[in-house]
Amino acid sequence: MSRESDFYLRRLHSLLGVIPVGLFLTQHLIINYFSTRGEEAFNAASDFMGSLPFLYVLEWVVIYIPLMFHAFYGVYIAFTANNNTGRFGTYRNWMFKLQRFTGVFLVIFIAWHIYQTRIQKALGAEVDYNMMADIFSSTGMLIFYIVGVLAATFHLANGVWGFLVTWGILQSPRSQRIFSYVSVLVFVALAFIGVRAIFGFM
């Protein structure tokens, strides 16, 4: 792969990770948070999203295609990256390593989540409050989903920092340092919403 191709692919990868994938993740977590208001509230919010016009087109154009590119190219980046935390254990080097690690884990987690929900729906199952409550009745699945939510929210929050640096929006060391704190706050807020939503099904 030429340097020029890699340059543009990495920027596209960074962009799609925030828009639309990151926005979808945020919206998905907020919809799931309705579980804290009970079965009826969650099912109503879920049914509203499921009733959007041109749903399948939207899912493929806005979610699946960008997500697949971001995931597969991200795996390529992860396995070709030079992790140097052994020699330079700085904060940013650890964030770089964790970004790659969570990305690879999320490929597995998201594939399993799609299988348990979207594919099961295509096979005739009802994706509702009771389905999710049944999934989380397993301690193994509960832990797996909590780790998945933490990985996804960290990956997004840290990825926004990377996106802003990659696209030249955060140029000075001071702005990059300040937004490092902002990204931690974003992670904590989204992680709370996601994990609290899981326990809303229990």
- Distance between CA 43 and CA 51 in Å, rounded? 12
Question: How many domains does the chain divide into?
Answer: 1
**CATH code for the domain in which residue 92 is found:** 1.20.1300.10
Range of the domain at 11: 3-200
The b-or-e profile of 56-85 (16+ CB within 10 A means b, else e) is eeeeeeebeebbebbbebbeebbeeeeeee
Q: Residue 90's pLDDT is what?
A: 86
**pTM check: above 0.75:** yes
Q: pLDDT by residue (tens digit) across 122-159?
A: 999 999 999 999 999 999 999 999 999 999 999 999 99
Question: Over 90: is that where the pLDDT of 81 sits?
Answer: no
Q: pLDDT by residue (tens digit) across 4-53?
A: 888 899 999 999 999 999 999 999 999 999 999 999 999 999 999 988 88
Helical (H) or strand (E) element with 110: helix 91-114
Question: Considering just the CA atoms, what is the radius of gyration of the chain in Å?
Answer: 18
Find all residues with CB under 8 Å of 160, minimum gap 6, and list them: 18, 22, 183, 186
Give the chain's mean pLDDT. Answer: 93
Q: pLDDT by residue (tens digit) across 113-122?
A: 999 999 999 9
Distances (CA, A) of 172 to 15, 49, 102, 159, 180: 20, 40, 27, 18, 12
- Distance between CA 6 and CA 9 in Å, rounded? 5
- Distance between CA 149 and CA 37 in Å, rounded? 20
